[in-house]
Amino acid sequence: MGSLRLSNVSKRFGKVVALKNMSLEISDGEYVVVLGPTGAGKTTLLKIIAGLLKQDTGEIYIDGVKVDDYPPEERNVSLFFQNFALFPHMTILENVAFGLKVRGYDSREAENRALEALRLMHLDNRAYSYPRELSGGMQQRVALARTIITGASILLLDEPLSQLDAKIKSELQYELRDFVKNLGLTALHVTNDVEEALALADRIAIINRGEVVQVGTPFEMVEEPKDVFVAGFMTDMNLMEGIVEEVSTNSVIVDIGNIKLRSSRKGSFRRGEMVIVGVKSKDFKVQKADGELVCRIEDSIFSFKYRKLIVCFDNGLRVQVKTDKSGLEKGAYVSLRVDPNDVYLFPCPKGGLRAAIAEITGVS
């Protein structure tokens, strides 16, 4: 059993607000990924749940029991540390078996289980090495194995795949999910990598500046982002500032510096209101130049099966377009089409688009 509930948890470090009234509910056996830029409060969240930090206000319930006064070892959680925290004086096997041993397992049984977890991480042949003899990626996998098999039913994973080579990571993430699911564990996994979140999560929670912005399934997060921040974080959407020119019953026309786009997505906007328009690069369709939405191809970048075109309109607006059409040369003029259903509109945040993008990329 391992359900987890946070109710209005807040935490400050001096003047810095790390968490602000955070509420989150995770049911038994669920895999939830918390996604957010550096400094969003992700690590603090995990440390509070693990009992290594104390929240200022709010409560934490594990399996319906309030655990605010429980020390870490009695909370039934297991934390993966971002910097691994492998015990330097123990072998890999001893490290992985540590949790089981201190929880009273027979040492032979503990080591057998540890070996099994190491096998999953493709590291069973390094069981008797010491942490310092392993590369960063390997150490990370050892730490992951150690976290998973402690016998705790809730896993708290702090960027557990960040040090891995892209190639290893792209496969290991699916295996990790299967392993956690097969053991029936609950996981709260923190990362800033969107692909990782999509590959792993039952639900994704996006947080920013210590607050939950949106929670939903991967599909909901990508297809129905609530605001510019979520859209910019989850997708490669082209984001543009525009002004609502016309509002009718089921569509809105927006003017982006003389480029008009029609959106038929839900949302209430007033005429003359400043909005942010979002179009995913795959939703632009490239056609022969025919007078509408004409632009010039500035660069054409290889993108696996596709090409990513960087196109520039007369008014200086630059967007990215993903296409599988070939023979589109640099410098050529083309026209773009987009289905009104694929044109997202978001209320303009304070500080405009620039501030929103700065927030997404963590630049301040």
Partner 1 sequence: MQNIWKILRITILASTFLTFTILVLFPTIFLASFPLIYIDDIRYEVFENPLIGSENLRLIIEVLTFSFKLSASTVLVDILLGIPLAFILARGNFPGKLLLETLVTLPLVMPTSGFGFASLLTWTTVSGVGKWFGLSRGILSITSNLPFIDVPIIIFIVHVSLTLPYIVRTVQAKLVEVDIVYEDASRTLGATSLTTFRKILMPELLPAIFSGSVLAFARSLGETGATIIVAGVRLTAAVAVVKWEFEFKLGAAAFLGLILVLITWLIILPAELFLTSAKGGIVKPPSLISGTIVERALIKLEAKFSKRIFKNILHGVCVALLLVLVIVPIVVVVESVFSYMFKDPYTGKTEGSVIYQLFGPANYLPIMLRSTAVSFASAFTSTYISVFLSIPLVYIIDRYRVGRILRALLKVPLVIPSSALGLSVLLFWGPKFLGLLTPSIWLIILTQIVFSVPVIVETTMAVYEGSNIKLYEDAAKTLGANPYHVVEKISLPILKEGIITGAILSFTHSLGETGAAMIVMGADIPISVLVVNMVESLAIPAALFTSAYLIIISTIMIVVFRIVSGRRRI
Partner 2 sequence: MPEVKLVDVTKRFGDVHALRGVSLTVKDGEYVCILGPSGCGKSTLLRIIAGLLQPDSGSIYIDGRDVTYKPPEERQVGFVFQNIALFPHMDSWSNVTYGPVVKCMDRDTAYKAVRELMVILNIAKYSGLYPYELSGGIAQMIAIVRALATGAKLLLLDEPLGALDPRVRVNLKYELRRMVKDLNLTAIHVTHNQEEALTVADRIVVMRSGIVEGFDTPENLYWRPKNLFIADFIGKVNIMRGVISRVIGEKVLISLTNGQLVELHAEGFSEGDSVVLAIRPENFEFSSDDVMQDISLTGVVARVRFMGEYYRYDVRTEAGETIIVNYPVGGDVKKLGEKVRIWFNPETVLIYPYPEKGIEKELMVEI
Q: How far is CA 33 from CA 46, 112, 218, 222, in A?
A: 12, 30, 10, 14
52 binds, among partner 1, partner 2, none (CB under 5 to 8 A by kind): partner 1
Largest interatomic CA distance in the chain: 76
| Least distance (Å) between residue 363 CB and partner 2 | 5
Q: How far is CA 236 from CA 11, 180, 278, in A?
A: 32, 29, 9
Q: Is 222 in the site for partner 2 (CB under 8 A)?
A: yes
Q: What residue type is 75 in one-letter code?
A: R
| Least distance (Å) between residue 162 CB and partner 1 | 17
89 binds, among partner 2, partner 1, none (CB under 5 to 8 A by kind): partner 1
Q: Which is nearer to partner 1, 88 or 331 (CB)?
A: 88
Within 280-339, the residues that bind partner 2 by CB under 8 A are 280, 282, 299, 301-305, 308, 310
**Where do runs of H (alpha helix) occur along the chain?**
42-50, 92-102, 107-120, 136-148, 166-182, 194-200, 218-223, 228-234, 352-360
Q: How far is CA 156 from CA 52, 63, 274, 308, 346, in A?
A: 12, 15, 41, 37, 33
Q: Is 72 in the site for partner 2 (CB under 8 A)?
A: no
Q: Is 234 in the site for partner 2 (CB under 8 A)?
A: yes
Q: Which is nearer to partner 2, 110 or 279 (CB)?
A: 279
Q: Is 165 helix (H, G, I), strand (E, B) or coil?
A: coil
| Least distance (Å) between residue 224 CB and partner 1 | 35
Gap between the Cα atoms of 345 and 239, Å rounded: 10
218 binds, among partner 1, partner 2, none (CB under 5 to 8 A by kind): partner 2
Q: How far is CA 233 from CA 14, 48, 116, 193, 345, in A?
A: 28, 25, 36, 9, 16
Q: Which is nearer to partner 1, 137 or 151 (CB)?
A: 151
Q: Is 8 in the site for partner 2 (CB under 8 A)?
A: no
Q: Which is nearer to partner 1, 49 or 207 (CB)?
A: 49
- The DSSP secondary-structure symbol of 22 reads E
| Least distance (Å) between residue 137 CB and partner 2 | 6
Query: Site residues (CB under 8 A) for partner 1?
Result: 50-52, 71-73, 75, 77-79, 81, 83, 85, 87-89, 98-99, 102-103, 146-147, 150-152, 156
Q: Which is nearer to partner 2, 136 or 347 (CB)?
A: 136
63 binds, among partner 2, partner 1, none (CB under 5 to 8 A by kind): none
Q: Which two tokens stand for residue 305?
A: 């099966």
81 binds, among partner 2, partner 1, none (CB under 5 to 8 A by kind): partner 1
Q: Which residues make Cβ contacts (< 8 Å) with residue 341, sequence separation at least 6?
A: 264, 265
Residue 200 zone, left/alpha/beta (φ > 0; ψ -120 to 50; rest): alpha
Using alpha carbons only, how large is the chain's radius of gyration in Å?
24
| Least distance (Å) between residue 121 CB and partner 1 | 17
Pairing of strands 252-256, 274-279: unpaired
Within 152-171, the residues that bind partner 2 by CB under 8 A are 165-168, 170-171
- The footprint of partner 2 (CB under 8 A) covers 37-38, 135-137, 165-168, 170-171, 174, 178, 192-195, 198-199, 217-219, 222, 233-236, 280, 282, 299, 301-305, 308, 310, 360-364
